[in-house]
């Protein structure tokens, strides 16, 4: 039920941005952070409920996308989503500064 709520929330965020016709200064970072961390939790849960077989079973790819058909490979691959476009920590900083208007972190010289 929790994943259903989170996926519905993600769809709602994306729908709001599309219907508004323009993204706010931090909207892309919010969606990227939310999606990448949800993907990690979802694939982690799938590996957990799949038990030991989920760690060893390798299926044929289900699509031409990133899904491999193997929960453990998809779980490992989900961590890649937190790196391109900025790690989760960087996304949080962007959200804080651009979305919430918080001051920039001081530069280390």
Nearest to 33 by CA among 95, 76, 75, 77: 95
What is the per-residue DSSP string for 55-67? Answer: HH--PPPSSSSS-
Q: Could you read off the pLDDT of 59-95 as tens digits, one per residue?
A: 655 555 566 677 778 888 888 877 777 788 889 999 9
Domains of the chain: 2-99 (1.20.140.10)
d(CA 45, CA 23) in angstroms, rounded, equals 31
The model's pTM is: 0.75
- Could you give the count of Cα atoms lying within 13 Å of 69 in the half-sphere of its Cβ? 8
């Amino acid at each position: 039920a929790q994943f259903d709520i989170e996926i519905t929330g993600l769809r709602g965020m994306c729908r709001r941005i599309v219907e508004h016709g323009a993204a706010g200064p931090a909207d892309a970072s919010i969606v990227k952070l939310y999606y990448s961390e949800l993907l990690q939790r979802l694939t982690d849960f799938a590996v957990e409920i799949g038990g030991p077989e989920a760690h060893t079973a390798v299926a044929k790819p289900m699509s031409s996308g990133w899904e491999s058909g193997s929960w453990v490979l998809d779980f490992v691959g989900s961590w890649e989503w937190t790196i391109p476009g900025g790690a989760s920590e960087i996304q949080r900083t962007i959200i804080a500064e651009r979305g919430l208007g918080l001051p920039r972190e001081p530069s280390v010289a």
